[in-house]
Homo-oligomer: A and B are copies of this chain.
Amino acid sequence: MLPVAVDAMGGDRAPDEIVAGARRAAEDRGLPVVLVGRPGELGDIGDLEVIAASEVIAMDADPGSSVRRMKDSSLIRAAEAVRDGVASAMVSAGNTGAAMASALLRMGRIRGVARPAIATLLPAPGTTPTVLLDAGANSECNPEWLVQFGRMGAVFARDRLGVEEPRIALLSIGEEPGKGNPFVKKAHGRLTEAQFEGARFIGNVEGRDLLTDAADVVVTDGFTGNVALKTLEGGLKTLMTSLLTAMSARQEAAEAARVLGPELDGLYQQFHPDTYGGAILLGVQGVCVISHGSSNALAVENAIGLAAEMVGANVVGHLTGAVGDGG
């Protein structure tokens, strides 16, 4: 397999944690990795190779203009490496909008895809995670696009999670088809009419169903999806913090909390966004994994693992089959 191109400059903890994660992926898991960034600033990179890129797109930079202007940025160079057959996939913990724009501009869309979408995994205890898309690529959507999001999400649920016949649902504010805003009602109609191969549309779900077995793939516009995702992350973080604070306030409680260490660790890992290796941009001509800005070495390692796994599973080929030709 060609190496996974890792944007060494993107992310709140770049380059140190990015390089550390890339090294772990290469050294501990035997995955082929190439770093992209400023060679002199990467510290001890072990045996990794580097694709030189002199510019860095800041986390808060405007995605569109930065990508157009900074042609020697690590993000653009990573996307070009995939386009040029030098790398098999790209991974970045940098500016999400700029990572999407780089992938879209340099790799291009899969023929027939109206808009690429960001798919993210939400933990559902006792069952496979729920695929949520669009989690933020398109803040405004056409109802038709949600049919494609459903097709792409189903491919991802199969390739990533092994779900045989994914159940696709639409995120709304009530289960009945008539519930929701005008956009959602139209999307419900399109999804009901659409033919899905090896997947099926099961109707609306609500926000409370996201972390359950109610559906395998949940489609929504990128604004609502991003609000739901961040609300969930914020809520779980607040609850976890409150739990730890409460447990440390009383002597006996603190001791009991220590006994519960393995359980709390397991829970923390199950619900932590880094566990699943980040989000994936579906619909471009290559694998593009975008992990949290706050990613540490473990998150980067997992993101590289996810990218390699998706290359191995031929997710782009399957997406082309499922949505190509205007499907």
Contacts and interface: CB of A to CB of B under 8 A. Distances in A.
Interface of A: 123-125, 136, 139-140, 171, 173, 179-182, 184, 206-212, 221-224, 226-243, 245-247, 249-250, 252-253, 255-257, 259-260, 262-264, 266-267, 270-271
A215 to B, nearest CB: 13
Contacts of A257: 256, 260
A2 B49 CA distance: 78
A260 B266 contact: no
A236 B242 CA distance: 12
A243 B256 CA distance: 14
Contacts of A263: 243, 246-247, 249-250, 253
Contacts of A221: 181
A57 to B, nearest CB: 16
Nearest to A184: B223
Nearest to A250: B263
18 contacts: A125-B238, A139-B180, A173-B223, A173-B230, A207-B231, A208-B234, A209-B234, A210-B234, A210-B235, A211-B234, A223-B224, A231-B231, A236-B236, A247-B260, A250-B262, A253-B259, A253-B262, A256-B259
Contact of A211 (B235, B243, B270): B235
